[in-house]
Structure 1
Amino acid sequence: MWNQIKHRFERYPSRMDVARKIIELGLRIDPDGKVYCDDVEINDVALARAIGVDRRTVRATAETILEDEKLRGIFQNLRPAGALLRDAAAELDFGVVEIEAEARNPGILAAAAELISGSGITIRQAHAGDPELDENPKLTIITGKPIPGSLLREFLKIDGVKRVSIY
């Protein structure tokens, strides 16, 4: 997917930044060229300000996307992933484990989930960063209760894991 997007914007780095932010936030572009977060319209000026580009760049990006059948199909079907509870976890008495790993290694999420469930802890949410969008993608797992520190070493034994943080 990302190669198709890069190809269309390779001569326009600012437009590439807009497309990247739209995907990162799960925004969608309607046939009218307007940008939405679910059913809430996001105005061009607000999006441009967040990215650090001119509003015309946002408009030009949307127009370019709508002109390309494949990109139109992608961007018209994006949806936000929902609220990540990481920052509110402490207030909810939840646990958080963040894992930095070699994102292309298969089975990291499965192995982490097995460790957590083997400890009798439920998983409330899991979010894996996209290695094509994030320089250092992280796997963030929100649990029904705090993770015991004793699991730290076990997470580090998972193939491809570089760093683990438990909150």
Structure 2
Amino acid sequence: MWKQIKHRFERYPARMNVARKIIELGFRIDSNGKVYCDDVEISDVALARAAGVDRRTIRATAEIILRDEKLSGIFQNIMPAGSLLRNVADDLELGVVEIEANARNPGILAAAARLISEKGISIRQAHAGDPELDENPKLTIITDKPIPGFLLKEFLKIKGVKRVSIY
């Protein structure tokens, strides 16, 4: 997907920023070129501000996307991933573990989930950053109760894990 997007916008870095922001936030573009978060319309001005571009760049980006059959299929069907409980986990007495790893290593999520489940802790949410969007993608796991600190060393034993934080 990113090869197609990069190819289409390689001469237009501002438009690339817009396409990246739309995907990052889970926005979609309807057949009229309007941008939505689920069923809430996002103004061109608001998106332009967030992407650091002029509002006309939003329109131009949407037009290019809608003219491309593959890109329009992608951008017209994106949905937001839902809210991550990370910022309110402490208030809700939930656990959080953030794992920074080589995203190309398979099995990191599975190994982390196994460690957590072996301690009788349920996972409420898991979110993995996209290595194409994030310079340092993180795997964030929200649990139904705090993660014991002694698991830190166990997480670090997972192949490809660089850093772990438990909150």
Q: TM-score, normalised by structure 2?
A: 1.00
Give the equivalent residue in structure 2 for 1:103.
Answer: 103
**Cα distance between partner residues in 2 of 1:50 and 1:158:** 36
**Cα distance between partner residues in 1 of 2:50 and 2:74:** 22
Q: Map residues 56-75 of structure 1 onto 2, 5 A cutoff.
A: 56-75=56-75
Give the equivalent residue in structure 2 for 1:152.
Answer: 152
Aligned length: 167
Q: CA deviation at 1:5?
A: 0.5
Q: CA deviation at 1:52?
A: 1.1
Give the equivalent residue in structure 1 for 2:84.
Answer: 84
- Are 1:134 and 2:134 matched, yes or no? yes
Q: TM-score, normalised by structure 1?
A: 1.00
Instruction: Report the AA paired with residue 35 of structure 1.
Output: V
Instruction: Report the AA paired with residue 11 of structure 1.
Output: R
SS in 2 for 1:100: strand
Q: 1:74-124 CA deviation, whole Å, 9 max, x = no partner?
A: 000000000000010000000000000000000000000000000000000
SS in 1 for 2:3: helix
Instruction: Report the AA paired with residue 153 of structure 1.
Output: K
Give ranges in structure 2 of 5+ residues lacking alignment: none
- Are 1:166 and 2:166 matched, yes or no? yes
SS in 2 for 1:142: strand
Q: Map residues 11-90 of structure 1 onto 2, 5 A cutoff.
A: 11-90=11-90
**Cα distance between partner residues in 2 of 1:14 and 1:54:** 9
Instruction: Report the AA paired with residue 94 of structure 1.
Output: L
Q: Map residues 118-129 of structure 1 onto 2, 5 A cutoff.
A: 118-129=118-129
**Cα distance between partner residues in 1 of 2:102 and 2:14:** 28
Give ranges in structure 1 of 5+ residues lacking alignment: none
